[in-house]
Amino acid sequence: MNKEIHKDLLQKARSIKLRFLSMYKQANAGHVGCSLSVAEMLTFVRFGWMKDTDEILLSKGHAAAALYSLLAEDGTLTENDISTFYKNNTHLAAHPPVNKIKRIPFATGSLGHGLSLAAGLGIANKLKKTNKRIFCITSDGEINEGSTWEAALFIAHHQLTNVVWLVDRNQLQGYGRTEDVMKLEPLADKIRAFGFEVIEADGHNFTSLNEAKKLAANSKLPVAIVCNTTKGHGWTTYEDKVDCHYLPMKDEQYELVVNEVNKFYDLESYKLGEC
């Protein structure tokens, strides 16, 4: 990945984060930490990997604000649309709606369904002999659901290499740490045993995500990318704490996380020699 593409991804990620943080603050809404953990993954898939004809499914629908902000960044939604978040008669509800917004093909957030939906799209496009790919981002907590593993079996059995499964591995879910609620490790080995090529990446680092993309391109198997992330990334008060799953931001917390986001991307730009 050249420096200009990397710089563009950093700028887009900053813009996406600052937009959805403002959305959460104005709505006095929770699920801030869920969006912060997945923002770079969404940014990279949309602007660094997928073609315009591909699909992206955010199975962890409670991070809807991150998805809406992404769609504002690519021009699918307007800033006027964004201003309706959480308001009466909006299409921008707490979880993504169905058949209301271009690029959101399914309502998600009832966890454990996203990978099954991706499998359905994958088999349909394989039968139609299209080059369309389906990128599905799941949380790690929803891997507790049996439907996720059924979908994984289906994808592997039918060799749906047009489906790319990304796991937001922040190790927290609504009730605590994933390993305390229902142990997942060794997660990579378990997914590999189902017939996937498993790649691990730093879900907040575009260089790491780009390396995962390169490895995926050479795979003859369906690919699952386990993206190691931090829930509430940059919200230092509640980073890597269950509280960031539910709590809305107070004024001082909003100011703090905005400053932290700006510092993070300024530092990343400095590493690229932009400062």
**Residues 24 and 221 sit within 8 Å (Cβ to Cβ):** no
Residue 256 neighbours by CB under 8 Å, 6+ apart? 235, 236, 237
Q: Which two tokens stand for residue 184?
A: 């997942």
- Identity of residue 75: G
Q: What digits encode the pLDDT tens for the residues 75-115? A: 999 999 999 999 999 999 999 998 899 899 999 988 889 99
Question: What is the rounded CA–CA span in Å between residue 43 and residue 17?
Answer: 10
Q: Round the CA-based radius of gyration of the chain to a whole number and report it.
A: 18
pTM of the model: 0.96
Residue 229 neighbours by CB under 8 Å, 6+ apart? 37, 38, 41, 168, 169, 170, 202, 203, 204
pLDDT tens sequence for the chain (275 residues): 899 999 999 999 999 999 999 999 999 999 999 999 999 999 999 999 999 999 999 999 999 999 999 999 999 999 999 999 999 999 999 999 988 998 999 999 888 899 999 999 999 999 999 999 999 999 999 999 999 999 999 999 999 999 999 999 999 998 899 999 999 999 999 999 999 999 999 999 999 999 999 999 999 999 999 999 999 999 999 999 999 999 999 999 999 999 999 998 888 887 887 65
Domains of the chain: 3-271 (3.40.50.970)
